[in-house]
């Protein structure tokens, strides 16, 4: 058997189950956006790590060094945000070809430093090796109040599913790069959204302080995939109303120009790095109003959880649809 037969999640499950027995009390290992380690009576450490490889996650000719430095930190901060944590320190390891220009590396660290300053995260260490292609590994350690931690397993039936930003921009930006369509103002906006995602660190901490907020995850693989993580961890089902998914003006207009289905990009695309969460239905109105007042951006309800464990149903204007890779079709 090859690792490609197992798939990423199958492989993770295999490793997680064989190391489960080593976990001491108070530790939560593989299976959420961050690992949780005890810190003191009331606080925990949240730790996440992520790897980006050239020609797998990015093309050096398509992203500037500065943007890549920014994004490497951003995608990790997003996992800290998903737990309601406060990021504190980062560790950065780089594999770089020996002929890499120092100006490229300076640019990379400019971007990394820009976001470190903005989010008040210290770079505390790392490693550098020579490699054929660029490989970037970032680890972030953050902290959270134990009682405020938000896990994927905290959803219950009857809750509202919502997201903190427009979806699909990043996936459209990636497609624009792949098909060499950049240049226009809207196209460039979408490419920027792909290259410089803004992690919802403040939003995550704010949401975690609201008692009506239950399960949280950040959107890295696309809501259809990320929501399934919540469904699996919480043993709940869900239905999504696709027409309620928030889409940017730029995504709509570029999709129309190229005859793309913006909903397909929003649901299956990924790399949005905003938050997907479930909220107690009785508290949703208050929480969403206060969220909008604080962040000047809506908290958009896009569906609800139910007791059909593990089952995700998609509706478009009230009719159930399924996704077959080329958009949504009625049953
Ligand atoms: Mg995540």
Q: DSSP letters of 251-293?
A: HHHHHHHHT--HHHHHHH------EEEEE-TTTHHHHHHHHHH
Cα-flanking dihedrals φ and ψ of residue 312, to 5°?
A: -115, 120
Both structure tokens of 33 = 């956006």
Both structure tokens of 294 = 């604080």
Q: Give me ligand 1 centre to Cα 82, in Å.
A: 7
Q: Give me ligand 1 centre to Cα 163, in Å.
A: 14
Residue-level pLDDT, tens digit, the chain, 331 residues: 888 888 887 888 888 888 888 888 888 878 788 999 999 999 999 999 999 999 988 999 999 999 999 999 999 999 999 999 999 999 999 999 999 999 999 999 999 999 999 999 999 999 999 999 999 999 999 999 999 999 999 999 999 999 999 999 999 999 999 999 989 999 999 999 999 999 999 999 999 999 999 999 999 999 999 999 999 999 999 999 999 999 999 999 999 999 999 999 999 999 999 999 999 999 999 999 999 999 999 999 999 999 999 899 999 999 999 876 556 676 6
DSSP one-letter code for 166: -
Q: Give me ligand 1 centre to Cα 152, in Å.
A: 10
pLDDT for residue 328: 67
Q: Give me ligand 1 centre to Cα 180, in Å.
A: 29
Q: Give me ligand 1 centre to Cα 140, in Å.
A: 13
Q: Give me ligand 1 centre to Cα 221, in Å.
A: 8
Per-residue b or e along 67-100, where b marks 16 or more CB atoms closer than 10 Å to that residue's CB? bbbbbbbbbbbbbbbbbbbbbbebbbbbbbeeeb
* CA angle centred on 149, ends 147 and 155, rounded to 5°: 105
Q: Give me ligand 1 centre to Cα 256, in Å.
A: 30
Q: Give me ligand 1 centre to Cα 219, in Å.
A: 6
0.85 exceeded by pTM:
yes
| Contact predicate 328/261, CB 8 Å | yes
Q: Give me ligand 1 centre to Cα 330, in Å.
A: 30
Alpha helices in 156-248 (DSSP H): 169-178, 185-195, 201-208, 223-234
Q: Give me ligand 1 centre to Cα 218, in Å.
A: 5
Q: Give me ligand 1 centre to Cα 313, in Å.
A: 22
Q: Give me ligand 1 centre to Cα 110, in Å.
A: 25
Q: Give me ligand 1 centre to Cα 99, in Å.
A: 33
Q: For residues 167 and 162, give the distance between their C-alpha atoms in angstroms, rounded to a whole number.
A: 11
Q: Give me ligand 1 centre to Cα 26, in Å.
A: 21
Q: Give me ligand 1 centre to Cα 44, in Å.
A: 18
Q: Give me ligand 1 centre to Cα 243, in Å.
A: 25
Q: Give me ligand 1 centre to Cα 32, in Å.
A: 7
Q: Give me ligand 1 centre to Cα 79, in Å.
A: 5
Q: Give me ligand 1 centre to Cα 208, in Å.
A: 16
Q: Give me ligand 1 centre to Cα 176, in Å.
A: 24
pLDDT for residue 326: 55
Q: Give me ligand 1 centre to Cα 108, in Å.
A: 23
């Amino acid at each position: 058997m090859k690792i490609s037969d197992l798939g990423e999640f199958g492989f993770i499950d295999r490793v997680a189950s064989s190391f489960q027995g080593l976990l001491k009390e108070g530790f939560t290992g593989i299976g959420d956006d961050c690992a949780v380690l005890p810190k003191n009576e009331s606080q925990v450490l949240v730790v996440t790590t992520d790897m980006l490889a050239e020609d797998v996650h990015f093309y050096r000719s398509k992203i500037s060094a500065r943007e890549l430095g920014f994004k490497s930190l951003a995608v990790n901060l997003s996992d800290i945000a998903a737990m309601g944590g406060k990021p504190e320190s980062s560790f950065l390891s780089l594999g770089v070809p020996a002929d890499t220009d120092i100006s490229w590396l300076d640019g990379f660290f400019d971007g990394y430093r820009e976001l470190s300053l903005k989010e008040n995260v210290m770079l505390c260490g790392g490693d550098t090796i020579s490699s054929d292609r660029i490989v970037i590994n970032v680890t972030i350690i953050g902290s959270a109040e134990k009682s405020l931690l938000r896990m994927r397993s905290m959803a219950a039936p009857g809750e509202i599913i919502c997201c903190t930003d427009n979806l699909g921009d990043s996936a459209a930006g990636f497609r624009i790069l792949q098909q060499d369509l950049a240049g226009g103002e809207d196209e460039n906006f979408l490419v920027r959204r792909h290259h410089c995602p803004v992690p919802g660190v403040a939003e995550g901490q704010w949401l975690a302080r609201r008692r009506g907020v239950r399960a949280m995850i950040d959107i890295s693989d696309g809501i259809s995939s990320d929501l399934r993580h919540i469904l699996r961890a919480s043993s709940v089902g869900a239905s999504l109303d696709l027409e309620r998914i928030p889409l940017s003006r730029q995504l709509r207009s570029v999709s129309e120009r190229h005859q793309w289905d913006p909903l397909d990009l929003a649901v299956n695309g990924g790399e949005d790095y905003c938050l997907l969460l479930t909220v107690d239905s009785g508290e949703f109105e208050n929480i969403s109003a206060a969220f909008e007042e604080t962040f000047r951006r809506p908290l958009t309800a896009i569906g609800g959880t139910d007791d059909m464990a593990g089952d995700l149903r998609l509706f478009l204007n009230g009719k159930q649809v399924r996704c077959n890779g080329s958009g949504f079709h009625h049953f």
